[in-house]
Structure 1
Amino acid sequence: MKKFYGTGTYVQSAGVKGDLEIDGFAIAVCEELGVELSRHQSRGFEELHEYGDHLSSFDLIVALTPTSQATVQDLTRVFHLDVEHWPIDDPAGLGENRNQKLDAYRHSRDQIVNRLIARWGPPLDPV
């Protein structure tokens, strides 16, 4: 999001589980667009508070899986914020060789990019 639309909007990434390492295939396909993920740290919703963020301070949460959508809706039911579900294909476990795996990750990456553009318009920094 920051790569496409700048830093004028505060964006934070979190998931249902925060103890997962960033997948090497995700790092590789995002790097193709100039998005640096290798130093990104995965964190869970509960960890946001430890980093100084609280779910109530956000206007919008985008859930990429049904599990994260259900978790977010449960955690935020007392807050006034929007939750959107973007059903993105999970590339984990797809493909039998490196090229097929990279293609699966590119497909998921491109789904996210298309959703960003549909929601917020063309990127300020075209890819």
Structure 2
Amino acid sequence: MTRAANPTGKAAVSSLLFVCGMNAIRSPIAEAIARSILPASVYIASAGVRSGQRDPFVDIVLAERGLSLGDYRPQRFEDLEDGYFDLIVTMAPEAHHAALDATGTASVDIEFWPMPDPSAADGSRDQILDAYRDVCDRIEAHIRERLLKKDG
């Protein structure tokens, strides 16, 4: 089965996985934003290379956008129930290496979208939240540019 190409020249995606270090910040943000933008027919998941804990700042910046993770809990890449995806987007070098190693010769596209880790931000609560907001903005821009079909 051939996937239709989108305006970027890359195949349209029907199943998408976002992977970061601990599935606590970048990949769950990407999952929530992608779910709000992409058609409901696209299967979207996220995972981490290592076990992580849910980050409360993620809930705050997603709520500002009218989004929620619900009862989401971080999961590891190796614990995913469904292992087939059209596209795996990695957001940290360790995640990229893990995805390449795990997929081997499988027919899957893997793209590296380097994203800063906002948990490394210093300063006031507002400055830290701004770092999280910046990551949300970057992720949303990548999703829109790479995965949305343009009209006309």
- Give the TM interval when normalised to the shorter protein: 0.7 to 0.9
Amino acid at match of 1:64: M
TM-score by length of 1: 0.86
**How well do the aligned residues superpose, as a CA RMSD in angstroms?**
1.6
1:122 and 1:100 map into 2 onto residues whose CA distance is 34
Distance 1:100 1:122, change over 3 A: farther
Amino acid at match of 2:82: D
2:38 and 2:99 map into 1 onto residues whose CA distance is 24
Question: How far 1:109 sits from its partner (Å)?
Answer: 0.9
1:25 and 1:34 map into 2 onto residues whose CA distance is 14
* Greater share of residues in strand: 2
Amino acid at match of 1:72: A
| 1:8 equivalenced with 2:48 (yes/no) | no
State percent identity of aligned pairs: 33
4+ residue stretches of structure 1 with deviation over 3 A?
none
Q: Which residue of 1 aligns with 2:116?
A: 89
2:94 and 2:58 map into 1 onto residues whose CA distance is 20
Q: Which residue of 2 aligns with 1:64?
A: 91
Question: How many correspondences in the alignment?
Answer: 117
Alignment gaps of 5+ in structure 1? none
Alignment gaps of 5+ in structure 2? 1-33
Amino acid at match of 2:37: F
Question: How far 1:6 sits from its partner (Å)?
Answer: 3.2
